[in-house]
Amino acid sequence: MCKRQKFRKIMTTPRKKFYLKQPSIIPGFGLSMGFTIFYLSIVVLIPLSMLFIKTAEINFSEFWATVTSPRVLHAYYITISCSLAAALVNVVFGLLTAWIIVRYDFPMKKIFDAMVDLPFALPTAVAGIALTSLYAPNGWIGKYLAQYDIQVAFRPAGIIIALIFVGLPFVVRTVQPVLEDMEREMEEAAASLGASRWQTFVYVVLPHIGPALLTGFAMAFARALGEYGSVIFIAGNLPKISEIVPLLIVIKLEQYDYTGATSIAVVMLLFSFVMIFIINLIQKFNYGKMSKQGI
Amino acid sequence: MKLINNIFTSRSSTTEAPIIRWAFTLLGLGFLTLVVAMPLIAVFFEAFRKGYDAYIAGITDPYAISAIKLTLLVAGIAVPLNVVFGIAASWAIAKFEFRGKHILITLIDMPFAVSPVISGLIYVLLFGIHSVLGAWLVAHGVQIIFAVPGLVIATVFVTFPFVARELIPLMQEQGTEEEEAAILLGATGWQTFIRITLPNIKWGLLYGVLLCNARAMGEFGAVSVVSGSIKGETTTIPLHVEILYNEYNFVAAFAVASILSILALVTLVLKRVLEIKTGVKGKH
């Protein structure tokens, strides 16, 4: 059957309800899909499964003992709380940044807009040493803060600042397109119905960009949880004070404590997956609500 | 009186009062300057703190040069591999209908959910001395962890989504009509790909390559775990920066870091250019 006849047949037969793959005249599915699966297996699936296989080898009481030891628990607490704080700050200031870029005009706007992507393009190690030099007690900003007895370096505050740096683009770049596409007529309608600007913002704008804000928050939070390079320099890595989970994993590896490192990593991974799952659920719920309201 | 009234009342129904606009703008720009611009400026300031000669000495040091070479080598292998993967994956996803697409896309997004350190850890578990494959590898004299192949595969893991994530929506948007028309007119698969698909996706592809490369050269966490940071042999530029910094050799550390910063700035500029070319904004 020549291609033309095959194409005609594909276009005229109704689509089957259950299918593994729709027929098509375009070649190369086997090759491209095969290579994709092969690549993913070698690079992602097999190594990730090693993580879980290794965990299965450890008996549960040893696993539990590692994961609940005081130093590890402190690391979890520090990592999660600092990531949360940084992500929340990023939501507020990220929204502000997106707002002024989309809604306002000011000199050098294009440069500031491009600047938002810098944390994304700059290697984490470079960001780490740069932030440390700024906030160390003799740094430009650290000196100024020391006058007020505020210490940033070697403290959770330093970690939070580093995490704010790496998470900012996620919030801004997720909210910006939604703000750009938003119809101003809705705000005009609210204003004409007597709403103040603040009311319009809270009841009209915020719900519209809510899902994007939430996505940006989730991405910034997830990134912050795993961040290593930009944090280890400014944190000082004092156990129980400013030691983050990724660092603890590296320390265990350097001591050849593979089971310890794996145990800690698995808990971290599971936590990230649960977070992402919850955020996805909330998003689905929000979209469902919005479509019911006919937006 | 009128002036005060003017700055407190907004001029239209969809904008805030001028004073609010000013406040927001200053606050936002202040935040951006403090959080983003200052660290960048600090890198160059610290790099040149002891003068121009110290800077040049820092970046022409033999270890620094071998770090640069190694970074270029690793990126030079990882990025093309990821380009091939990206094209293959987006061809499969965009041009065909099949079950399980969502799972495939989720898998492709996986590296974004995983911490860089864990990304390195999984390869140590797979290829390290104490691992399942470890004994076999040692017997055959193949070293992956603490050697270049380990660096490459860790970098591949962390950067492979970039090209794919750029191409998949792009190719999905472009649809299958042009390729189908070409096939019907008698073109082979390869001809169709090279003459129809490739020109259509070229800017998106370049954009993905740009992001992939920037990340590949700058990756720290995963590479740190996998490489053992053996000076002169397995240190990429970011790892070298860490070593210098830990030796308190600050000027040299910042000098080498400035190379990466310049790379980041170039990436941003090219990113802007490509965004204008493709009409795409703010995606990553």
Question: What six digits make up the tokens of B41?
Answer: 């400026």
Residue A249 β-bridge partners: none
Say yes or no for a CB contact (<8 Å) between B115 and A114.
no
Nearest-CB residue to B126 (from A47, A103, A245): A47
* A50 and A71 together in one domain: no
Burial of B214-228, coded b for 16+ CB within 10 Å and e otherwise, reads bbbbbbbbbbbbbbb
Q: What is the pLDDT of residue B282?
A: 43
Return the pLDDT at A142: 84
Distance from CA of B228 to the nearest CA of A (A): 9
* Closest A-chain CA to B40: A130
For position B283, what pLDDT does the model report? 45
Contact assignment for A32 to B91 by CB distance below 8 Å: yes
Which residues of chain B have a CB within 8 Å of the CB of A271? none
Percentage of residues in chain A having pLDDT higher than 90: 23
State the CB neighbour count (10 A cutoff) for residue B204.
25
Please report whether residue A10 resides in a domain: no
State which of A57, A80, A99 marks the end of a domain: A57
Mean pLDDT of chain A: 86
The angle formed by the CA atoms of residues A273, B173 and A179, to the nearest 5 degrees, is 65
- Whether A47 and A167 map to the same domain: the answer is no
Contact A48 B122 (CB under 8 A): yes
- Alpha-carbon gap, residue B204 to B201, rounded angstroms: 5
CB B105 within 8 A of CB A40: no
Residue A89 has pLDDT above 70, yes or no: yes
Distance from A291 to chain B by nearest Cα, in Å? 22
Kindly list the domain boundaries of chain B, sorted by start residue.
Answer: 1-47, 50-278
End-of-domain residue from the set A11, A36, A57: A57
A and B: number of Cβ contacts within 8 A: 297
Of A90-99, A109-118, A144-153, A155-164, least confident by mean pLDDT is A144-153
pLDDT of residue A36: 93
**pLDDT tens, position by position, A179-233:** 988 888 888 888 888 888 888 888 889 988 988 898 889 889 988 998 998 898 8
Distance from C-alpha of A218 to C-alpha of B128, rounded to nearest angstrom: 33
Per DSSP, helices labelled H in A104-155 are 109-115, 118-121, 124-135, 140-146
A16 inside domain:
no
Is A252 a member of any domain? yes
Looking at residue A294, its pLDDT comes to 47
Question: Is the CB of residue A219 less than 8 Å from the CB of residue A138?
Answer: no
Provide ipTM, 2 decimals: 0.84
**Structural domain count, chain A:** 2
A72 and A151: one domain? Answer: yes
Regarding whether A118 and A248 lie in a shared domain, the answer is: yes
Question: Distance between CA atoms of B255 and B253, rounded to whole angstroms?
Answer: 5
The architecture of the domain spanning B50-278 is Orthogonal Bundle (1.10)
pLDDT given at position B49 = 84
Closest CA to B22 of A106, A101, A202, A111: A106
Query: Do A46 and A100 belong to one domain?
Result: no
Is A189 a domain residue? yes
- For residue A9, being part of any structural domain is answered with no
The answer on A115 and A45 residing in a single domain is: no
% residues pLDDT > 70 (chain B)? 94
Q: What is the pLDDT of residue A276?
A: 75
- Tell me which DSSP letter residue A16 carries: P
Among B141, B86, B103, B148, smallest CA distance to B123 is for B148
Domain limits at A265?
60-292
So what's the pLDDT on residue A295? 46
Mean pLDDT for A102-114 is 89
Predicted confidence (pLDDT) per residue in A167-186, tens digit: 999 999 989 988 988 888 88
A63 pLDDT tier (thresholds 50, 70, 90): confident
In the DSSP assignment, the letter for residue A14 is P
Residues A186 and A51 both lie in one domain: no
Q: What is the reported pLDDT for A288?
A: 65
Confidence class for position A281, pLDDT limits 50, 70, 90: confident
For residue B53, give every residue at least 6 positions away whose Cβ sits within 8 Å of its Cβ, in sequence order, or none: none
| Closest by CA position to A269, among listed B114, B106, B111 | B114
User: Is position A137 within any domain?
Assistant: yes
Considering the domain architecture, whether residues A137 and A52 belong to the same structural domain is answered as no
3-state secondary structure A156-221: HHHHHHHHHHHHHHHHHHHHHHHHHHCCHHHHHHHHHCCCCHHHHHHHHHHHHHHHHHHHHHHHHH
Please check whether residue B49 is in contact with residue B240, taking contact to mean a CB–CB distance below 8 angstroms. no
Residues of chain B predicted below pLDDT 50: 281-284
Which chain A residues contact residue B25 at CB under 8 A? 100, 104, 106
Nearest CA in chain A to B249: A129
Residue A1 within a domain: no
> How many CB atoms within 10 Å of residue B88?
22
- A102 and A226 housed in the same domain: yes
Shared domain for A150 and A273, answered yes or no, is yes
Residue B203 CA to residue B198 CA, distance in Å, equals 10
Instruction: Kindly report the three-state secondary structure assignment for every residue of chain B.
Output: CHHHHHHHCCCCCCCCCHHHHHHHHHHHHHHHHHHHHHHHHHHHHHHCCCCHHHHHHHHHCHHHHHHHHHHHHHHHHHHHHHHHHHHHHHHHHHHCCECCHHHHHHHHHHHHHCCHHHHHHHHHHHHCCCCCCHHHHHHCCCCCCCCHHHHHHHHHHHHHHHHHHHHHHHHHHHCCHHHHHHHHCCCCHHHHHHHHHHHHHHHHHHHHHHHHHHHHHHCCHHHHHHHCCCCCCCCCHHHHHHHHHHCCCHHHHHHHHHHHHHHHHHHHHHHHHHHHHHCCCCCC
Whether residues A147 and A287 share a domain: the answer is yes
Q: Which residue among B10, B111, B264 places its CB closest to the CB of A121?
A: B264
| CATH code: domain of residue A276 | 1.10.3720.10
A81 and A42, same structural domain? no
For B165: left if phi > 0, alpha if psi spans -120 to 50, otherwise beta; the answer is alpha
